[in-house]
Structure 1
Amino acid sequence: MKKSYCPIDTFINVIKGKRKSTIILHLFQGNKRYNELVKLIPDISERMMSKQLKELETDNLINREVFPEVPPRVEYSLTDLGKEIHPYLKGMFKGGIIFENKIDSEEN
């Protein structure tokens, strides 16, 4: 995580990436295993999913917990920081719906 000139840019730089905000929104609903996230977000490759999860973990937005089982089980959850930014992502989600409705009305 790197500080930018403007706090808005700092926020966007942390959450931008292939489906990072979508991952956070899904994890707000509860802990998820890797395969659950892959099924919830089918338009992302497994390689990209792994990359985004690692970046979110590095930025302290998610936790990765490995359970000592055979086979190993890994669960992802939101950190307090991840939970704290959820309302802002939810607002961006609602804003996206407004733009999508506008696009749909222009196409018809």
Structure 2
Amino acid sequence: MAIDDKTRTELEAAVFRRLLEHLRARHDVQNIDLMNLAGFCRNCLSNWMKEEADAKGVVVSKDESREAVYGMPYETWKSKYQGAASPEQMAAMKKAQGGH
């Protein structure tokens, strides 16, 4: 792609926002399913956001980065949408991710 850095950054930011919107709409997809299939989940995204903020000297708490990803406080999302992981899901995660 022959685009300048500013445009590339704007496109990447727009894609990230769409990913977050998609994940917020698909709360039926559990984090463990994401981990088992893709090797990352919503919590990973929020951790990466916090790590990048820390690297740039921007103060962002873990709760703030999670709310930015989940679109609501994490505890609210968990109580509304997070189901219990099945033994099969847990076994798959341990096998694929080493117990992430």
Q: How high is the TM-score relative to the length of structure 1?
A: 0.30
